[in-house]
Copies of this chain bind each other. A is one copy, B any other.
Amino acid sequence: MSEYQAPLQDMRFALQSLIDLEQLAALPGFEDATPDLIDAVLDEAAKFAANELSPINRSGDLQGLSWTEGEVATADGWKGAYSQFVEGGWNSLSCAAEHGGQNLPRLVSALTEEMWNGANISFALCPMLTRGAIEAIELRGSDALKATYLPKLVSGEWTGTMNLTEPQAGSDLSAVRTRAEPQADGSYQLDGQKIFITYGEHDLADNIIHLVLARTPDAPEGVKGISLFVVPKFMVKEDGSPGERNDVRCVSIEHKLGIHASPTCVIAFGGNGGATGYLVGEENRGLEYMFIMMNAARYSVGIEGIGLSERAYQRAVSYARERVQGVEAGVRGGGKVPIIRHPDVRRMLMLMRSQTEAMRALACVVASAMDIARLHPEADRRAQQQAFVDLMIPVVKGWCTENSIDITSLGVQVHGGMGYIEETGAAQHFRDSRITTIYEGTTGIQANDLIGRKIARDGGATAATVLVQMSEVASSASGASDESLKLIGQSLAEAVSALSASVDYVVANFKQDMRSTSVGAVPLLKLFGVVAGGWLMAREALAAQAGLSAASGTEATFLQNKLVTARFYAEHVLTQADGLARTIRCGAASALALADDAF
């Protein structure tokens, strides 16, 4: 059973070729984030992922979780791994120094996050949710809340959750019914039930801090009447340690297709004395605050897709090298060969590889923009980068996760019959990936966010600036003398026009006919991802070509392989662009014509 190995060489190449690392280290507070330090962190993270998280991935899937009278026991080895995670400082990597964090760029923690997810997505979900809780309290919590909760959440001694969903309120949070009654001491008593709460209950940490959406008694209806509360599992004593149990219970856990080792809980607030909660920020602005967590979480779910894809790729490659079956196509009298020699197996591996690299490149560029958007001294630059981040979050989330289903499915396919046997491990990645297009907003929700708030609202202005950058890269590559670069450039140029025409279509039609335009939302999200991936693969290919003359040995081989992989992406993935664009422009009438009862 192979263990996950972090793709350090490709991660480092993405940093070198796509990111201005000097500019990054020049951001206030990032003085220590030198290339050497980043390298060292990635090396250590790779070891932790391979040695501690990967070995308990399959056992966690098999053993799952046990629920006994409200307590959830994680699988064997999980408590130990989590303590080591906390002790190693991995939880606090890119948290603010003032709360005990290490203040490293989001770019760095994005790469370590890919590793945690590649090694063990069920484990990685726990710190991912904690991060969301930290961000909400950091940005909108009172000083008292910050002092009480942030240090322990940042260290990872305590973990966090996001409590949004209720049975009648999934994608539509306006339907949230959980009540929060103000008390004389300034706290609130919460009453209600939440479902699908990831790591809502577990035995990994001393306390669990729930961030909960609820309504105060006089709140307006709909999304404008939702407030955000901190509700700890254990009340916090004066000395900061966990005290008596709050009235928060895990009523049950779900039996899911995948992520078996990650508890998905039904959580009941109140009913036995009352669940004490504390308001975050102002009343009725909870949804706005929740979106702070949500946007961060959406980016992180995109990273899950990348980690899972990389893991599936590695497992498939390893099998394809070992499995001997058949002779080489077109060769008579030759011996039997490992299946990696078969053209269709190579096609599948290249599809997995090229798209995973493209997604990683996009995730890096967006993470770096997050850092600049937060810390750059110039407000214009911050705003410009934030607009880019906002535009790309639904693409990272939607495209990387949709791809991960296809890529983990290819991983099963490479294994043939063995892929369908659970023992092999390939099927787990496929099952695990299937949630990623659903939670933290389905692909449909991401796509509507993309076409409405991110493209139509500013009349396509932010998208246009990205399209200009894409076109410039296409021109550079088209104008190169290298044959592969030329082909990559031409393919990218065509794909960029297809995207550009689709963006124009959305801008021109969204306000007059939101319903029809929305039919093309998911195709547009996919198109945006496909083209963004092609853009960044082309940038990496240009950098690889530029670096080749001075490179030798394994470095030269890596650069040559990058050129090949980018060309494969151009020929096998970018070629989808025009078909998607046509669907966006012409596919509404037929999609909306049937009566509801005709289905």
Contact = CB atoms under 8 A, between A and B. Distances in A.
A416 interface: yes
Interface of A: 165, 168, 170-172, 174-175, 195-196, 254-258, 317, 320-321, 324-326, 328-330, 336, 338, 340-350, 353, 405, 409, 412-413, 416-417, 419-423, 427, 430-431, 434-435, 437-439, 442-444, 447-448, 484, 487, 513-516, 518-519, 521-522, 557, 561, 564-565, 567-568, 570-572, 575-580, 582-583, 586-596, 598-599
B172 A347 contact: no
B350 A590 contact: yes
Contacts of A521: 343-344
A522 B423 contact: no
Contact of A347 (B343, B412, B416, B522): B522
Contacts of A565: 590, 594
Nearest to A427: B257
Contact of A564 (B175, B437, B577, B594): B594
**Residue among A175, A320, A329, A514 with the most chain B CB within 10 A?**
A329
Contact of A598 (B320, B347, B557, B579): B557
A495 B487 CA distance: 24
Given A431-B431, A576-B576, 11 more contacts: A171-B325, A196-B417, A257-B421, A257-B430, A329-B514, A330-B513, A340-B596, A340-B599, A409-B434, A412-B438, A557-B598
A471 to B, nearest CB: 21
Contacts of A423: 255
A518 B340 contact: no
B421 A344 contact: no
B431 A257 contact: yes
Contacts of A349: 599
A441 B241 CA distance: 61
A148 to B, nearest CB: 31
A343 B590 contact: no
A84 to B, nearest CB: 29
A565 B589 CA distance: 11
**Residue among A347, A521, A578 with the most chain B CB within 10 A?**
A347
A409 B257 CA distance: 12
Contacts of A579: 575-579
Contacts of A165: 417
A56 to B, nearest CB: 20
A514 B412 CA distance: 25
Contact of A583 (B336, B513, B575): B575
The 5 A-B pairs at the shortest CB distance, nearest first, are namely A330-B514, A344-B444, A568-B590, A343-B518, A172-B326
Contacts of A567: 589-590
A348 B591 CA distance: 9
**Residue among A195, A570, A586 with the most chain B CB within 10 A?**
A586
Nearest to A313: B599
A326 B171 contact: yes
Contacts of A342: 444, 518
Contacts of A328: 515
A438 B422 contact: no
A572 B576 contact: no
A147 B267 CA distance: 65
A413 B170 CA distance: 13
A447 B578 CA distance: 24
Nearest to A510: B330
B442 A343 contact: no
A419 B427 CA distance: 18
A416 B442 contact: yes
Contacts of A175: 325, 336
A514 B430 CA distance: 32
Nearest to A354: B590
Given A172-B336, A576-B576, A596-B341, A347 B417 contact: no
A593 B564 contact: yes
**Residue among A434, A587, A591 with the most chain B CB within 10 A?**
A591
Contacts of A518: 329, 342-344
Contacts of A413: 437-438, 442-444
A257 B420 contact: yes
A325 to B, nearest CB: 5
A570 B561 CA distance: 38
Given A336-B172, A575-B582, A592 B514 contact: no
Contacts of A430: 257, 434
